[in-house]
Amino acid sequence: MSLKTAIGIDPGSIVCGYGVLRKEGKSISYVASGEITVPKGQPLPERLRRIYEGLRKAIETYNPDEAVVEKIFFASNIKAALSLGHARGVALLSASVGGIPVFEYSPLEVKKALTGYGRAEKSQVMAMIKAILNIDVALSPDSSDALALALTHLNMEGILYGGGKH
């Protein structure tokens, strides 16, 4: 029976969520989730370093076989888009340094895969995550989104095999 562990990463320059799931055969189980939070007032390079260190620690702790990172889809302004792009780059780098293949999905793809509706609310996605994984743990919106990425990827395996390798 095949065993695979995936880490989902919901990048952000203030809060970066992560979620780890394990697939054994057709069964997917919750391993861990959390968030890396950095003070908003810190300079961007310091925030990015702290996010990198947090993601590397999670990757070293849970030793995932694959990483799943959210594609950028929207930012409220150019400055926010650039900061999010930097955080996304750190997520990609963190996985790459660990030698982990990276897959990417848009929020629309994840929402559609989990709820059947591409414009589902975050609360609907979180409810589906808890129901599908049969867990009763407190999830932040960022860790829930990260788990949703990992779950979408593990469920798509063999069907589409993700949004493509990065």
pLDDT tens, position by position, 129-158 = 999 999 999 999 999 999 999 999 999 875
3-state class percentages of the chain: helix first, strand second, coil last, to nearest 5: 45, 25, 30
pLDDT at position 166 over 80: no
The CATH code of the domain at 3-156 is: 3.30.420.10
Would you state the pLDDT for residue 165?
Answer: 44
Q: What is the pTM of this model?
A: 0.92
Q: Which of 35, 70, 104, 109 is catalytic?
A: 70
- CB under 8 Å to 120, separation ≥6 — which residues? 111, 114
The average pLDDT across 124-128 equals 95
List the end-to-end C-alpha distance of the chain, in Å, as a whole number: 27
pLDDT at position 116 over 80: yes
pLDDT at position 18 over 90: yes
Distances (CA, A) of 47 to 18, 28, 34, 125: 16, 32, 17, 28
Q: Which of 35, 104, 109, 142 is catalytic?
A: 142
pLDDT at position 53 over 60: yes
Active-site residue 145, yes or no? no
Would you state the pLDDT for residue 157?
Answer: 75
Would you state the pLDDT for residue 158?
Answer: 57
pLDDT band at 75 (very low <50, low <70, confident <90, very high): low
- CB under 8 Å to 149, separation ≥6 — which residues? 8, 9, 10, 19, 68, 69, 70, 105, 110
pLDDT at position 34 over 50: yes
Q: Which of 10, 35, 66, 104 is catalytic?
A: 10
Active-site residue 142, yes or no? yes
